[in-house]
Chain A
Amino acid sequence: QVQLQQWGAGLLQPSETLSLTCTVNGGSFSGYYGGWIRQPPGKGLEWIGEINDSGTTNYNPSLKSRVIISVDMSKNQVSLKLSSVTAADTAVYYCARGGLRWFSNWGQGTLVTVSS
């Protein structure tokens, strides 16, 4: 059974860089997109961006200037970096695997809090 496991720092100060990594157990990112989605407390889901196994990326224009998503196929890992974070970036961040158009497998989520 495919499971996504994610990790990274949960508490950041304003202006720092958020860094999260996600790995697939029981499967691979080969032939799939690896994406990141976030959910602010009590709010809906927001798509951040995604990458395929060739390294082609799509980003949400609202975050594009601050986001880098990368893939390491040798480790079966996808990573997210979001720079210059503010309190507005406080959210649960999810990694996900899927086809181009939907997300069929999700990580457990990481609560990232931005506070001074």
Chain B
Amino acid sequence: DIQMTQSPSSLSASVGDSVTITCRTSQSISRFLNWYRQRPGKAPELLIFSTSNLQSGIPSRFSGSGSGTDFTLTISSLQPEDFAIYSCQQSYSVPWTFGQGTKVEIK
């Protein structure tokens, strides 16, 4: 199985801040990397697929980049609804695997 490691595990930020979350994979996955946001008590929500493609309806303040084993999710201007847990998921090979999550908290 491909192992996924996210950093940091948590971070504190203020509304309007820009934040970056990193996802590293145990082997190269080309650009088969997706990002999800999970608000408290809610189901995950797809933000970005295939590294940098914004899912329909997702604001442009979210962006993704990377390839191979190193990927990033950037939120350019945090909004109140963005305080949540973010998870990456590789879609290079079955079994699909997820990172452990990064919790973005209000400073």
| Residue ranges of A at the interface with B (Cβ–Cβ < 8 Å) | 37, 43-47, 58-62, 94, 98, 100-104, 106-109
Contact = CB atoms under 8 A, between A and B. Distances in A.
Residues of A contacting B: mostly: loop
Contacts of A61: 95
Interface stretch (B19-27, B60-68, B71-79, B97-105): B97-105
Given A47-B98, A60-B95, A102 B89 contact: yes
> Which residue, of B32, B45, B94, has the highest number of chain A Cβ atoms within 10 A?
B94
A101 B32 CA distance: 8
Interface of B: 32, 34, 36, 43-46, 49-50, 55, 87, 89, 91, 94-101
Contact of A47 (B46, B97, B101): B97
Contacts of B101: 44-45
A98 B89 CA distance: 13
A104 to B, nearest CB: 5
A107 B95 contact: no
5 contacts: A44-B87, A45-B44, A45-B98, A47-B89, A102-B34
